[in-house]
Amino acid sequence: MEQDIIHTLTKDFEKFVQLTSDGVEFWLARDLKHLLGYAEWRNFQNAILKAKIACEVSGQNISDHFVDVNKMVEIGSGATKEIDDIMLTRYACYLIAQNGDSKKQQIAFAQTYFALQTRKAELIEQRILESERLEARHKLALTEKELSKLIYEQTGGNDNFALIRSKGDQALFNRTTAQMKEKWNIKNKPLADFMPTILLKAKDFATEITIYNAREKLMNTEVEISNEHIINNEAVRETLISRGIIPENVKPEDDIKKVERKLNSQMKKVLDRKDKLQ
């Protein structure tokens, strides 16, 4: 396909994209009909039907990607007429293109265009989730540092902080820290570096409660603070289990240090490109 045709088609497809009030991209079916080179709405409806079947087979809800709407159009002399239309997500457009005639330039382009756009959205979503996990890990580190400081201020020493933290792990996972490391195949690295976001936030929440109660109740022994930390982690564990989340059965994620290096590298590339454009 010639470059000028590709540029024209790209411009056309991006011209017709719209956004819902929630910021979700969509195309109207009657616009897509034109973009894909269909002359008759009736023929295009057949492609939509096939796409809906493919959507259902893939395990997606049809109503999440194909939304029936009505709109007013001019029919001449200032008169208007209401016609039916369909709001299509990017995924719906991709399925329609996949069920079209790939010999047509518009269809061949759309198949690649929506596949790439979908992949781009997936990468953005993944980056957001990774950033959220990294932020949760940093927050937990700060909270644990604050707990260590509080123990020192209120008991005169914090030599047993690591033991108190380990008791919290055991209360949360119903396993020792060492047992969880063995289960997750972790060697010589902190257990928290492999926790998914849900567990990082759960652990952070329990620690925040410990800090609050230790201050409010003026706990001045490590035994008191340790027992408080165990109780709070047990309470958080019960909450997770009540929602169908068993902490020790949650799968570990990539080493957070590795994730941080990747995100920093991606940011550096973005900044480098920005500098070159200036």
Output the DSSP codes for 201-270. HHHHHHHHHHHHHHHHTT--SHHHHHHHHHHHHHHHHHHHHHTT--GGGSPP-S-HHHHHHHHHHHHHHH
Overall number of domains in the chain: 2
pLDDT digits (tens, 9 = 90+) for 197-255: 999 999 999 999 999 999 999 999 999 999 999 999 999 999 999 999 999 999 999 99
Same domain, 174 and 224: yes
Residue 143 sits in the same domain as residue 253: yes
Give 103's DSSP letter: T
According to the model, what pLDDT value does residue 194 have?
A: 96
Residue 253 and residue 212 share a domain: yes
**Quick one: 13 and 55 in the same domain?**
yes
Q: Is 111 contained in some domain?
A: no
Looking at the fold, whether 140 and 207 belong to one and the same domain comes out as: yes
Gap between the Cα atoms of 151 and 143, Å rounded: 12
pLDDT score of 24 more than 70: yes
Q: In terms of residue numbers, what domain contains 65?
A: 3-100
**Burial of 201 from C-beta contacts in 10 A (0-12 / 13-18 / 19+):** middle
Q: Is residue 212 one of the residues assigned to a domain?
A: yes
- Res. 74: pLDDT tops 80: no
Cα-based torsion angle of the residue sequence 121, 123, 125, 131 in order, rounded to the nearest 10 degrees = -150
Rounded distance between C-alpha atoms, residue 163 and residue 254, angstroms: 25
Same domain, 75 and 143: no
Structure-model confidence comparison of residues 277 and 204, the more confident one = 204
What pLDDT sits at residue 108?
80
| Mean pLDDT value of segment 151-174 | 90
Q: Say yes or no: 143 and 86 in one domain.
A: no
* Domain identity same for 26 and 136: no
- What pTM was estimated for this model as a whole? 0.59
Tell me, yes or no, whether 267 lies in a domain: no
**Of the candidates 149, 172, 150, which has an alpha carbon nearest to the alpha carbon of residue 232?**
172
**Least confidently predicted of 41-55, 179-193, 201-215, 229-243:** 41-55
Q: Is the pLDDT of residue 91 over 60?
A: yes
pLDDT of residue 37: 84
